[in-house]
Chain A
Amino acid sequence: MTATLAARRPAPARPVSVPRAYRFELVKLVAQWRIRLLVLACWIVPALFVAGVSAQSTLPSDTLFGRWMHATGWAGPLVVLGFAGTWALPLLTSLVAGDVFAAEDRLGTWRHLLVAVRSARRIFVAKTLASLTVILLLVAGLAVSGAVGGLLTVGDQPLVGLDGHLLAPSDAALKTLLAWVAVLAPTLALAGIGLLGSVTLGRSPMGLLLPAVVALAMQLAQMLPLPLVVRLALPGYAFIAWNGLFTSPGQVGPLLIGVAVSLAWALTATALAYALFLRRDFTDLGYDGSGRRAVTAGLLPLVGLLAVSAAVIAPVTGGSGSGIEQEKVQRSLATAFAHLYRMQTRQLHRPAVTEARLRATAACDKGSDRIAARGPGNDWRCVVSWHLPGVEATGTAVYQLDVASDGRFVADGDGPKEVNGYFLVRTPEGDAPNPLWQFDGNVELLPTSKG
């Protein structure tokens, strides 16, 4: 009888499984009008934007690949990617990951949720997975929508890479996909920071805005003349390092470092959020985040991670410089010029010539002999020289370069007019954009690679 009674006794309730809790969290997220609007916007607006911009005469040439939006549909998703890395992805992660825990504080539903799920650990895992699912859905929407808009409007044409060489449509598609996959890493880092802010700062608006604020701070840091090692140690670097995929050979070193750093930040921030979440006292109704805890248990470990990352990366970058040096700029410019010269040659139906026979070289300085020719700036001045088979004279063209700290440069042709001094060239089919008048390039920042 005793045994029978004991057998009928209720046991401590088993926690809800993670998949069920995950579905529950996903239902709650997707039921929010804000999230639904974001999903719709991410799957529709990029297509409309790319289609609209590709159809107009003025192109966003200050955005990477923007000048090629008339030429190929693959430029569209890359322009969207550049914009997304700067604004959209930090804001999206803020609105999703930055709010996923704080929403329960705002609604006063923590106790209800704990009674229902019976495990704070599983709640954390479910919320994290649900917010990541929504973020991935949003990122996928941006990528797919941008590509569809470009391909439908302009078509599946070859893409001009950042060293001037032509990427076949299939290659362009693969590189575009890889670029979008690469920015998932810094997006996850921002999501981790969002989770941390949401856990530590509660209903405070700062918790919601933290990913956006961190992203903005990292963008400002990238504009400062910081050593390359510091810039690479920031989790946002992978947002801009994907441009190395569009050179041949690919300049993937900074991208791989950026992705690794971003993933380390994502894991660390998420682990900190997890630890802080489990230590939280859910019976304290007045809990509204803790600024001190956010600093001691959130900010300081991440600053430590930045320092460790910089220490690990320093031997790879080989010093404290910007990574932008005279010889690398000259090599990148000459390579891009040679590729684009061939393109211009084809446009004008001139006799074919190879890059090897052109033997293009560049001589660059920074405005004055008294200034060391290194580092970013818009005062780079270069003279490109090349040889044509059968022609004794050496061809020369002048370029003004604006080199950004991430190695991307815009070369602006200063003449002669028939080579790079005018934005149009007269082809047998009519006037066409002159590929040598203004073009984008990329300086390899790491010393181990060749441009």
Chain B
Amino acid sequence: MDASLAVLARGITKCFGDVVALDGVDLDVTRGRIHGLVGPNGAGKTTLLGLLLGLAAADGGTLEILGVPVGRALSAVEGVAGFVDGPGLYPSLTARQNLAALLSLRGRDATTAGVGEVLAEVGLRDVADDRVRGFSLGMRQRLGLAAALLTRPRLLVLDEPSNGLDPSGKRHVHRVLKRLAADGTGVVLSSHRMDDVEALCSEVTILTTGRVVFSGPIAELSSQKRELEYRLITSDPGAARRLAAGADGVRVVEDGGTRYGDEVLVVRASVPALDRLVSRVVRSDIAIRELAPVVPPLEAAFLALTEQQEQQEQQERTEQLEQLEAGR
């Protein structure tokens, strides 16, 4: 195994009865990087994270975590921490007691193990002695992260860590995760929030129905030459519309005005075609007040990939059905 990898998974399969949750999944997570795991509901993200945490064993394939081969028996690797399906806290205990109880499990003294420091790091110092029963979802998420930090992980596995976070909480969590990555910890997180993934992750794996449809640097995904819709607000909407209508590789979305108002021009174009249009608009002395993708590039890429995969699977199913009927 490459020493720079925190996770090396090849051909991982996992079934629950007749349901195939993971179907030949490959995953590389580099130490010191934040790796995003995205996919629609039921794609297998939580199952994959569960395998990394030692909560389940794969049915097939090979998995190495922090250089340790993981067998078929349930087992976790030292240095791995995190949570799936919520942080798992005890509401009758305070935030500090929750962390102290976890430390006592590991035979460490809560007074010297830095409970106060990790609570401060995730922005919960002021509520350290409040019962978790009264915590919001975002506060629980942050406390779950604090619990993981106490173990000084070399691989941190988080399932939807941004769920329920307010902007301040999100800033705390992002800062902690970036600091961990900078210190060499590999971080794998799943999220439905593409803006979070884009802001945090340097690598991303997109799963759909248990299969990987993309895995690699996030820049590679968002820079793929696919057309996106862009919203354009200018000082002269009529002239801008005429320029867009005549530009190569640019298509004016006719119902854009209906969606956003007459002042807004919505065009569909690749990045190079959009660049050419912007140059022409500016040369025509038309001021550009706003230019933004209607759907963020990563989200668009995600939707395109997952919809493509779903269409492909639908087509395969139809073909199989036709073959069956032809055989009768």
* A residues adjacent to B (C-beta < 8 A): 5, 9-14, 16-17, 20-21, 23-24, 27-28, 31-33, 107-118, 120, 281-285
Contact = CB atoms under 8 A, between A and B. Distances in A.
Contact of A28 (B54, B56, B80, B93): B93
A12 B76 contact: yes
B53 interface: yes
B78 A27 contact: no
B83 A112 contact: yes
Residue with the highest number of chain B CB atoms closer than 10 Å, among A14, A107, A110, A120: A107
Given A13-B75, A111-B50, A115-B76, A285 B55 contact: no
Given A107-B90, A109-B88, A111-B88, 16 more contacts: A9-B67, A12-B68, A20-B106, A21-B105, A23-B104, A31-B90, A32-B92, A108-B86, A109-B90, A110-B88, A111-B83, A112-B87, A114-B55, A282-B56, A283-B47, A284-B16
Contacts of B102: 116
B246 interface: no
Interface of B: 3, 16, 47, 50, 53-56, 66-68, 74-93, 97, 101-102, 104-107, 144, 154
B92 A24 contact: no
Given A12-B75, A13-B76, A31 B97 contact: yes
Given A115-B76, A118-B76, A282-B55, A107 B88 contact: yes
B66 A115 contact: no
Contacts of B104: 20, 23-24, 27
B85 A10 contact: no
B107 A20 contact: yes
B68 A10 contact: yes
Contacts of A11: 68, 77-78
7 contacts: A13-B75, A31-B92, A31-B97, A110-B88, A111-B85, A115-B53, A281-B16
A354 to B, nearest CB: 62
Among all A-B residue pairs, the 8 with the closest Cβ atoms: A112-B88, A109-B88, A13-B78, A31-B92, A283-B56, A10-B78, A10-B79, A13-B76
B77 A31 contact: no
A12 B54 CA distance: 10
A111 B67 contact: no
B88 A113 contact: yes
Contacts of B97: 27, 31
Given A9-B68, A20-B107, A284-B16, A118 B54 contact: yes
A283 B50 contact: yes
A282 B74 CA distance: 11
Contacts of A109: 88-90
A32 B133 CA distance: 11
A108 B144 CA distance: 13
A408 B234 CA distance: 98
B101 A27 contact: yes
A107 B91 contact: yes
Contacts of A284: 16
Contacts of A285: 85
Contacts of B16: 281, 283-284
Contacts of A117: 105
Contacts of A111: 50, 53, 55, 83-85, 88
A80 B184 CA distance: 63
A20 B78 contact: no
B78 A28 contact: no
A195 B107 CA distance: 27
Nearest to B68: A10
Contacts of A116: 102, 105
Contact of B106 (A9, A10, A16): A16
Nearest to B107: A20
Residue with the highest number of chain B CB atoms closer than 10 Å, among A12, A16, A23, A112: A112
A285 B78 CA distance: 25
A113 B53 CA distance: 12
A63 to B, nearest CB: 36
A281 B54 CA distance: 13
Contacts of A20: 104-107
Nearest to A23: B104
A75 B282 CA distance: 100
A445 B85 CA distance: 57
Contacts of A107: 88-91
A114 B16 CA distance: 19
Nearest to B55: A111
Contact of B81 (A24, A115, A281, A282): A115
